[in-house]
Structure 1
Amino acid sequence: MFELTEPFCNYPDVLNLLKKRFYQMNNSPDNINKLENLAHFLVLQRFPAEVPTEAGIKECLAQARILTPVTDEECDKVLKLLYAHLQVTMEIGVAVVDESTYKPWLNERKQDITFYYWDRYRKYLERSKNWNGVVIETLGRVSDEILDLLGNPANETSWQRCGLIMGDVQSGKTANYATLCNKAMDAGYRVLIILAGTQENLRRQTQERLDLELVGLDSQLILDRVGRKLPVGVGRIDGNHFVATFTSKNNDFDQKLLNNLNMRITTCLEPVVFVIKKQKHRLTYLEKWLRIYNAGPDGKIDSPMLLIDDEADNASVNTKDDDDPTTINECIRKLLILFKRASYVGVTATPYANIFINPDNEKEMLGNDLFPRDFIYSLAPPTNYIGNTAIFGDESSHEYVVQDIGDDAEHTIPIKHGSQFNVEDLPESLYTALNYFVLINVIRDIRGPIHSHRSMLVNISRFTNVQSQTRNIIHAWIERIKSAAINFGSLEPQEAMRNSSIKSLYDTWQAFHLSLLCEKDWSTVQQHWLCYAVNRLTVVEVNQRTSSAILDYDAYKDNGFRVIAVGGNSLTRGLTLEGLCVSYFYRNSQAYDTLLQMGRWFGYRIGYEDLCRVWMTDEARECYSHITKATNELRDEIYSMRYYGMTPREFGLKVRSSPGSTERMVSKLLITARNKMRHATDYIHTVSVSAELLETPKIIIDTDRIIGNFNLAKQFVAYLEATHKKADDSVFHSTHNVWVDVPREKVASFIRSYIADPLYLHFQTDGLADFIAQANHLESWDIALPEGDTKEEYCITNKTVIKRQERSVDISPNKKSIRINGAKLRVGSRPCTRYGLDNSIVEEITQRRKQNKQQVPDKDFLMKPDRKPLLLIHFINIKPHTNLEKPERVEDRTLVVQVMDRLNGKKACVVALSVGFPLATKDNTMYVKYKINLVQQELLLEAATEAQNADD
Structure 2
Amino acid sequence: MTTSIKILKTVKPPLRWVPEQGEFTIEFLKSKSKDANGPSYAALTEGADSILHEAQRILGRCLPPGNIEEDPETGLVVGYVQSGKTLSFETVIALARDNGYGMIIVLAGTKNNLRDQSEERLKKDLGIDDGGDHWYHLSNPTTSAKNQIETRLQAWQKKSTKKALLITVLKHGGRIEDLAKVLAKLDLSCVPSLIIDDESDQASLNTKAARIKAGLAAINEVSTTYKSILTLRAVLPHHSYLQYTATPQANLLLVQTDFLNPNFAELVTPGESYTGGTAFFIDNADLIVEIPTKQVPSKTNNVVSPPKSLLQALRYFLLAAAHHSLTREKGIKAKDRNRSMMVHPAMATSSHKTYKSWVDKALKTLRRTVEDLHASDPAVAGAKFEVEYESLAKSFPDIRPLRELIAELLDEVFDELNVVEVNGTKDAEKKVNWRATRYWILVGGAKLDRGYTVEGLCITYMPRPLGSAPAADTLQQRARFFGYKKPYLGLCRVFVQGTVKAAFTEYIEHEEFVREALANHRGLPLAKWRRDFILTEMLKPTRGNVIGLGIRRIPVNGWLVPKVMQRDDNAAAANRTLLIDVVTKWRRDFGPDENAATVLSGVKDSPHNVIVDIPLRNVLDDFLLNVQVRDPSDAEQHTAMLIGLAAMLREDESLKVDVFLMNRLDTGYRTREAGHGLPAEHRFAPINQYFSQSAGMLNDRDHCFSDRITLQLRKFDLGTHQRDKSKADIKDVTWFALNVPAKLRKALLVEERG
TM-score, length basis structure 2: 0.68
Distance 2:74 2:123 in 1: 26
Distance 1:547 1:605, change over 3 A: farther
Amino acid at match of 1:120: E
2:650 aligns with none
Residue 102 of structure 2 corresponds to residue 180 of structure 1? no
Amino acid at match of 1:627: Y
Contact kept, 8 Å, 1:303 with 1:341, in 2: the verdict is yes
Contact kept, 8 Å, 1:167 with 1:378, in 2: the verdict is yes
Residue 259 of structure 2 corresponds to residue 369 of structure 1? yes
Residue 184 of structure 2 corresponds to residue 291 of structure 1? yes
Amino acid at match of 2:297: I
**Which residue, out of 555, 573, 585, partners 1:762?**
555
Give how far 1:632 is off: 0.9
2:358 aligns with 473
2:224 aligns with 327
1:813 aligns with none
1:937 aligns with none
Give how far 1:513 is off: 4.5
Contact kept, 8 Å, 1:92 with 1:142, in 2: the verdict is no
Distance 1:467 1:594 in 2: 20
1:398 aligns with 284
Distance 2:709 2:246 in 1: 32
1:603-682 to 2 correspondences below 5 Å? 603-641=483-521, 647-651=525-529, 654-655=530-531, 657-658=532-533, 660=535
Give how far 1:588 is off: 3.3
After superposition, what is the alpha-carbon deviation per residue over 1:324-347, rounded to whole angstroms, capped at 9, x for unaligned? 973222111111111111100001
After superposition, what is the alpha-carbon deviation per residue over 1:121-176, rounded to whole angstroms, capped at 9, x for unaligned? 12112222242414423222212211111111122335311111111111101111
Distance 1:93 1:802, change over 3 A: farther
Contact kept, 8 Å, 2:195 with 2:239, in 1: the verdict is yes
1:731-746 to 2 correspondences below 5 Å? none
2:673 aligns with none
Amino acid at match of 1:335: L
1:83 aligns with none
Distance 1:135 1:514, change over 3 A: same
Contact kept, 8 Å, 2:421 with 2:428, in 1: the verdict is no
Give how far 1:836 is off: 4.9
1:88 aligns with none
User: Which SS does the other structure have where 1:598 is aligned?
Assistant: coil
1:692-707 to 2 correspondences below 5 Å? none
2:406 aligns with 526
Residue 194 of structure 2 corresponds to residue 306 of structure 1? yes
Give how far 1:262 is off: 8.3
Give how far 1:486 is off: 3.8
Distance 1:563 1:576 in 2: 13
Distance 1:444 1:285, change over 3 A: same
Distance 1:327 1:436, change over 3 A: same
1:25 aligns with none
Amino acid at match of 1:313: D
2:721 aligns with none
Distance 1:833 1:572, change over 3 A: farther
User: Which SS does the other structure have where 1:608 is aligned?
Assistant: helix
User: Which SS does the other structure have where 1:434 is aligned?
Assistant: helix
Give how far 1:438 is off: 0.8
1:930 aligns with none
1:874 aligns with 657
1:284-683 to 2 correspondences below 5 Å? 284-292=177-185, 295-296=186-187, 302-315=190-203, 326-353=223-250, 355-358=251-254, 365-373=255-263, 375-392=264-281, 396-409=282-295, 412-414=296-298, 424-449=304-329, 452-496=337-381, 504-510=384-390, 512-513=392-393, 517-545=397-425, 550-556=430-436, 560-589=437-466, 590-592=469-471, 593-641=473-521, 647-651=525-529, 654-655=530-531, 657-658=532-533, 660=535
Contact kept, 8 Å, 1:193 with 1:306, in 2: the verdict is yes
Distance 1:646 1:344, change over 3 A: closer
Give how far 1:562 is off: 1.1
Give how far 1:561 is off: 2.9
Give how far 1:444 is off: 1.9
Distance 1:833 1:174, change over 3 A: farther
Distance 1:428 1:141 in 2: 48
Distance 2:555 2:705 in 1: 26
Amino acid at match of 1:572: D
Contact kept, 8 Å, 1:191 with 1:273, in 2: the verdict is yes
2:42 aligns with 133
Distance 1:506 1:93, change over 3 A: farther
- Cα-Cα RMSD: 4.5
User: Which SS does the other structure have where 1:343 is aligned?
Assistant: strand
Distance 1:301 1:479, change over 3 A: farther
User: Which SS does the other structure have where 1:245 is aligned?
Assistant: strand
Contact kept, 8 Å, 2:460 with 2:493, in 1: the verdict is yes
Gaps of 5+ in 2: 157-162, 210-220, 588-592, 599-608, 627-641, 648-654, 660-703, 713-754
Contact kept, 8 Å, 1:408 with 1:428, in 2: the verdict is no
Residue 195 of structure 2 corresponds to residue 282 of structure 1? no
Distance 1:686 1:583 in 2: 35
Distance 1:93 1:597 in 2: 35
After superposition, what is the alpha-carbon deviation per residue over 1:532-583, rounded to whole angstroms, capped at 9, x for unaligned? 2222111111122358964434543xxx531111111211111111111111
Contact kept, 8 Å, 1:456 with 1:563, in 2: the verdict is yes
1:787-866 to 2 correspondences below 5 Å? 802=612, 833-836=620-623
Give how far 1:515 is off: 9.9
Distance 1:515 1:163 in 2: 41
Amino acid at match of 2:191: S
Distance 1:465 1:388 in 2: 30
Contact kept, 8 Å, 2:146 with 2:182, in 1: the verdict is no
Alignment size in residue pairs = 591
Give how far 1:474 is off: 1.1
After superposition, what is the alpha-carbon deviation per residue over 1:844-887, rounded to whole angstroms, capped at 9, x for unaligned? xxxxxxxxxxxxxx869989xxxxxxxx86369xxxxxxxxxxx
Distance 1:913 1:139, change over 3 A: farther
Give how far 1:307 is off: 0.3
| Percent of matched pairs sharing the same residue | 23
Give how far 1:622 is off: 1.9
Contact kept, 8 Å, 2:106 with 2:198, in 1: the verdict is yes
Contact kept, 8 Å, 1:192 with 1:274, in 2: the verdict is yes
Distance 1:605 1:146 in 2: 26
Give how far 1:406 is off: 1.6
Gaps of 5+ in 1: 1-47, 51-90, 219-230, 359-364, 497-501, 674-683, 688-760, 788-792, 806-827, 840-857, 864-871, 877-906, 916-952
Distance 1:434 1:528, change over 3 A: closer
Residue 58 of structure 2 corresponds to residue 266 of structure 1? no
Amino acid at match of 1:205: Q
2:128 aligns with 217
User: Which SS does the other structure have where 2:59 is aligned?
Assistant: helix
Contact kept, 8 Å, 2:322 with 2:406, in 1: the verdict is no
Contact kept, 8 Å, 1:482 with 1:531, in 2: the verdict is no
Residue 102 of structure 2 corresponds to residue 243 of structure 1? no
Distance 1:796 1:521, change over 3 A: farther
Distance 2:315 2:192 in 1: 53
Distance 1:548 1:626, change over 3 A: same
Contact kept, 8 Å, 1:443 with 1:518, in 2: the verdict is no
Contact kept, 8 Å, 1:165 with 1:377, in 2: the verdict is yes
User: Which SS does the other structure have where 2:83 is aligned?
Assistant: coil
